[in-house]
Structure 1
């Protein structure tokens, strides 16, 4: 009989590769456990995530991953300083819905360019890990130090691995995150937006699936109090992405062309750049700018930049948390 529990099926399928996978994860191979004896530690994809697979809702701004200046958990992500020291706080939850067995595991953290897509594992860079982590009933926060590289802004990926709680992974980071409750993606960027002085943030778009090409849209949304109005958001597509947009008919909504390759976001509810074609494995660069007006001083805003495929399914995104400063 075929099991209807996806985690039970995954445990059986993964058994042949268990020794290799656990060596990579830094934990010793163990005898195959019965499904009801397996552990199930999960990292939330969003505030409404209780560990069920596939997860629903946003998948790129996990509340269980946070970047702070110190080893003390910060209330929200601190703006990282390139070349400086930071601490990545990852909160682990136990038990999840697929088992309550106890075992120690290994927490890994990786980084990639700030953007909506990245193929696993070749477009990710290893930061560090914590081995033999003991997760009690409830939650446990693990802190991993990070020397922030110079040259860009970054997305983070947290992976929990234990002998009976290994992820099943393919090329697509978004699919891996959606289908595995022990993988979490954190694409959050803190932006101190200065009055009349643009703050620039690099971002990459592309395609992380196996299909040779894909067509998708870039969508801007501003939940809560909008930044557009008190402030200004533009995106410089660059010559490559701008040429693709024109080749697709220069379609969109809630946007205004303000330069040869630059667009302004004029609709705070939803703005969309449509009809972009990407090859598998591409990461095409663009640049965002955030400029605060006087009315934005002291205000706090959230902007989501999301990539969706031609069926409207979310591929990935970045959450920008903006504070208006002098």
Structure 2
């Protein structure tokens, strides 16, 4: 073969190799794109649907409103007819989730097409996204101007029937601005994510304690130290209320090894502490391993009848992936009332 022929053949091979490499890189890049990623062309038709985190929320990203985990736009009802006030789900039967989508928010306009997805996890804080969340259901939605209420059936609710709920509006024209392992950070930075942890606790006077699960977690890749804060709008003693925290053997031992740091509490058993401060108490220096989520129990009881409902919140504070040393990592609002047996 002449030298000219060898040059032509070499150029052809190089060209084919470059084309194959380009194709391989294109396939690899496509495989790396998340399933719900937003096409670049979507920016030309930006829409903005939002779900309220608090009653004062108007869709700003990020915001400093609290509590972050009591969205008024997420509601659980026992029937397909929307109820006036969200209720605890009934175990073993079909319940219904009602989520309000508000259009437009401050960052776009126009009709938006997307998927509304709803998830659940054990009540509490520190739930790592998406590891600790289980999808309940999803609905394809066209969101027009105004408020669109979406109904999603929740079939076969597992026991004990107490959950954190998370709603995510996923749309090609309304992208998430930031998503990492911290649900609290994600919710604060995305107006199309909302979170609800509200539990009604009705106590029979003199009856057995009502037990509620609560979990604390660490979304970091290093160990963390955390605090759990208990706060009541008014003294629980006003309704003869009592709250005992059963940490379980392992978490109780970690608390004790950390110096039994706490305020407004006293040990009442091998693994239990009682909340004795009327309106605010805490357990501190609780060690959690990377990616861990530890569960304990809250025991509520009452010795007096009352017509009032008292709000009692339990919140986890600790470090998050943004670098904050102590931030609200999630909590639950318990609405406590009493009835005579």
TM-score, structure 1 normalization: 0.86
Higher CA-based Rg: 2
Q: Deviations over 1:196-224 (max 9, x none)?
A: 2210111111212x34111110001112x
Root mean square deviation of aligned Cα: 2.2
Secondary structure of the residue aligned to 2:188 is helix
Counterpart of 2:145? Answer: 137
- Are the aligned partners of 1:42 and 1:94 in contact in 2 as well (CA < 8 Å)? yes
1:116 to 122, 125, 132: 125
Secondary structure of the residue aligned to 2:184 is helix
* Alpha-carbon distance in structure 2 between the residues aligned to 1:123 and 1:80: 20
Q: Does 1:80 align with 2:89?
A: yes
Q: Report deviation, 1:94.
A: 1.4
Structure 1 residues without counterparts, runs of 5 or longer: 1-15
- Are the aligned partners of 1:200 and 1:290 in contact in 2 as well (CA < 8 Å)? yes
Q: Does 1:194 align with 2:208?
A: no
* Alpha-carbon distance in structure 1 between the residues aligned to 2:40 and 2:32: 8
- Are the aligned partners of 2:205 and 2:305 in contact in 1 as well (CA < 8 Å)? no
Over 4 Å off, 4+ runs: 16-21
Q: Report deviation, 1:17.
A: 7.7
Counterpart of 2:218? Answer: 207
Q: Report deviation, 1:137.
A: 2.2
Q: Report deviation, 1:30.
A: 8.0
Structure 2 residues without counterparts, runs of 5 or longer: 1-28, 320-324
Counterpart of 1:13? Answer: none
Counterpart of 1:127? Answer: 136
* Alpha-carbon distance in structure 1 between the residues aligned to 2:235 and 2:145: 39
Matches within 5 A, 1:84-99: 84-99=93-108
Counterpart of 1:320? Answer: 334
Q: Report deviation, 1:245.
A: 0.8
Q: Report deviation, 1:305.
A: 0.4
Secondary structure of the residue aligned to 2:42 is coil
Q: Report deviation, 1:274.
A: 0.9
Q: Which segment drifts farther, 282-291 or 53-62?
A: 53-62
Secondary structure of the residue aligned to 1:242 is helix
The size of the alignment, in residue pairs, is 302
Matches within 5 A, 1:271-282: 271-282=281-292
* Alpha-carbon distance in structure 2 between the residues aligned to 1:249 and 1:97: 48
Q: Report deviation, 1:109.
A: 0.4
TM-score, structure 2 normalization: 0.83
2:74 to 65, 74, 80: 65
- Are the aligned partners of 1:77 and 1:190 in contact in 2 as well (CA < 8 Å)? no
* Alpha-carbon distance in structure 2 between the residues aligned to 1:71 and 1:156: 18
Q: Report deviation, 1:262.
A: 0.9
Matches within 5 A, 1:143-292: 143-147=151-155, 148-151=157-160, 153-167=162-176, 168-197=178-207, 198-208=209-219, 210-223=220-233, 225-230=234-239, 231-292=241-302
Counterpart of 1:9? Answer: none
Q: Report deviation, 1:312.
A: 3.4
* Alpha-carbon distance in structure 2 between the residues aligned to 1:30 and 1:70: 41
* Alpha-carbon distance in structure 2 between the residues aligned to 1:199 and 1:179: 35
Q: Report deviation, 1:83.
A: 1.2
- Are the aligned partners of 2:128 and 2:217 in contact in 1 as well (CA < 8 Å)? no
Per the alignment, do residues 159 and 211 of structure 1 end up closer, same or farther by CA in structure 2, a change over 3 Å counting? same
* Alpha-carbon distance in structure 1 between the residues aligned to 2:43 and 2:174: 10
Q: Report deviation, 1:120.
A: 0.9
* Alpha-carbon distance in structure 2 between the residues aligned to 1:165 and 1:324: 44
